Amino acid sequence: MLNLVLGRSVHKDLIGLHLGHPVPARRENACGSVAATRWIVAPAAGVLAEIKLPSLRSPEIHSVELLKSPGDGVSPPYHNADRLGCILALGSTRGRAEQAAEDYLSQIVVRVQAPTDPVQS
């Protein structure tokens, strides 16, 4: 997310800093946007049956990454590894980026079945 907003690799900057290279001068918001993330999480423990993403995506939604697949065991987010996916939104303000991410997240359908129930297609 920082790489996108800054228009350069913060990892490369950090490695360069450790090697004694100066960090490039800060550029004002290279992409002209503010970024926000929201996590897709399971509503209950069980087996992931489905993650249904909205068919339409607003221009503010930069990317959606799914980390789990149907058939995977899932649980509500107690640890970072419990997340099902991530939404990255960009907006002209923090509020717009956050609202775009929240709006998209609210339209996602996550179905979880109890571990003993067969997963239906």
State the pLDDT confidence band at 112, using cuts at 50, 70 and 90: very high
The stretch 78-106 carries a mean pLDDT of 94
Q: Classify 109 in phi/psi space as left (phi over 0), alpha (psi -120 to 50) or beta.
A: beta
Token code pair at residue 56:
């339409």
* CATH number corresponding to 33-121: 3.30.470.20
Could you tell me if 74 and 67 are in contact, meaning their C-beta atoms sit under 8 angstroms apart? Answer: no
Could you tell me if 31 and 7 are in contact, meaning their C-beta atoms sit under 8 angstroms apart? Answer: yes
> Is the Cα dihedral 67, 70, 76, 79 positive or negative?
negative
C-alpha 57/C-alpha 47 separation (Å) is 27
Residue 118: the pLDDT is 60
Residue 107: the pLDDT is 97
Could you tell me if 32 and 102 are in contact, meaning their C-beta atoms sit under 8 angstroms apart? Answer: no
Token code pair at residue 2:
């920082």
The yes-or-no verdict on residue 25 having pLDDT over 60 is yes
Instruction: Compare 29 and 19 and report the one with higher pLDDT.
Output: 19
Residue 13: the pLDDT is 79
Q: What is the pLDDT of residues 28-59, one digit of tens each?
A: 555 567 889 999 999 999 999 999 999 888 89
Distance of CA 17 to the CA centre of its chain: 28
Token code pair at residue 3:
């790489």
What residues does each domain of the chain span?
Answer: 1-31, 33-121
Residue 11: the pLDDT is 80
